[in-house]
Amino acid sequence: MFVFNILSIFPEIVKCFTNYSLINKAIEKNLIKFNFLNLRDFTKDKHKQIDDEPYGGGSGMVFKVEPVYNALCSLKTNERGKVILLSAKGEKFTNSLAKKLSKENSLTLICCRYEGIDERISNFIDYEVSIGDYVLMGGEIPACVIIEAVSRLIPGVVGKEDSVKFESYEDIFLEYPHYTRPENFNGLMVPQVLLSGNHKEIENWRKKKSIENTINRRFDLIRNRKRPLDSSEVLEIKNTLQNKFEIYIGLVHFPVYNKKNEIVLTAITNMDIHDISRISRTYGIKKYFLITPDEEQKAYALRIINHWKNGYGREYNPSRKEALKVIDIKESIEDAINEIKKISSKNLITIGTSAKKRKNEITFQKLNELAKDNAIFLIFGTGWGLTEEILDSMDYILEPIYGLTDFNHLSVRSAVSIIVDRLIGF
């Protein structure tokens, strides 16, 4: 029998939850058991005070450590199990943690309120857990969430084990869409493939939809995966992302700053042509614009490109030809923007980049959100960076890439790689 110990000043909230559905049936079948402890019963003053003012000042009251410690000490050692503090600043509760906890014989859930609990409680707990990035009035509702998530993984609590095994968060991907009768509801039809009887096609459809759902709703699950992707999953993710994102890159050679903060024209380099082209081709960038008004520099770039696309390089290294297909040489940022607007039906957002802090920055997360519905033009500067005039003309400026030291001199090729991977890589 699995034992849950609930420590709270309002244990009735959780007790009410256990009176219904599969949790109640599991209690009746002696699969799980609950001990409810009211923390006020473990105070030593006549007023049963459970909180007090914070040391150092500040708003609100702080949950005292003594009643919680006393309640923990009252539990039998073999029934205490792992001790979990429900807290807004704890690690996020996941299905993986639920699986781990379900292997125990018992759990103790501490439900606090007010501004938090005396930090010294951390010496007596095993986990500090949050159920999400929001704030509740107490830990009782989170305790109910953990009880249900853990209980359903205990053998016998859920009737069909497969219904637990093949669900969202059990693997990397969210579940596929479900349908049942009627086949036609107000003109909304069940997908034909589900009516076909072809189990292989149904399986492929479900896998495709599962991946699409995850990319559209919880891309972080793929990025934070705990197992390697198989080749078919990689292919499906690539196909979905290529259709989802529309990213363009511009490398500006004029106007940019030199070391003395003077506006100069920089030279196009062989490495910038090849390396950023390969980055662009690898990540499905729609166009890579080399931006310079200098005719000699344009001619130099074209000679390199033609060598690999049409000359000896085409036979020597066919993959280089493929990468260079994405390059387009333009005289100015405005020319590149006009070209993008000709080929894109999406709203275009310009994103400037800089190694220096600026007031109008956006985060990588915000950039990812913008990229879901808009075409994105990432603009990089050579030399010592884009001019103030260019940066001021951008819709947004991306926050700098932060390393772990004071050294802040990434090559533009490295910066492009890091930014593009953070934006759409997996």
Residues of each domain in the chain carrying CATH 1.10.1270.20:
184-242
pLDDT for 161 equals 67
- CA dist 215 and 12 (Å) reads 40
pLDDT for 175 equals 93
Rounded to 5 degrees, what angle do the CA atoms 101, 103, 109 make? 35
Q: What is the pTM for the complete model shown?
A: 0.87
Owner of token pair 């609100």 = 60
For 184-242, CATH gives 1.10.1270.20
The kind and range of the H/E element at 223 are: helix 219-223
Amino acid at 163: S
208: closest CA among 189, 193, 188? 193
Low-confidence residues in the chain, pLDDT < 70: 161-170
pLDDT for 166 equals 57
Distance from first CA to last CA of the chain, Å, rounded?
42
The DSSP call for residue 113 is: B
pLDDT for 233 equals 96
CATH class of 2-163: alpha beta
Owner of token pair 């980055």 = 279
Rg (alpha carbons) of the chain, rounded to whole number: 29
Residues of each domain in the chain carrying CATH 3.40.1280.10:
2-163, 245-424
pLDDT for 114 equals 85
Contact 26, 32 (CB under 8 A): yes
Was domain 245-424 assigned CATH 3.90.1170.50? no
- 264-323 pLDDT, tens digit per residue, is 999 999 999 999 999 999 999 999 999 999 999 999 999 999 999 999 988 899 999 999
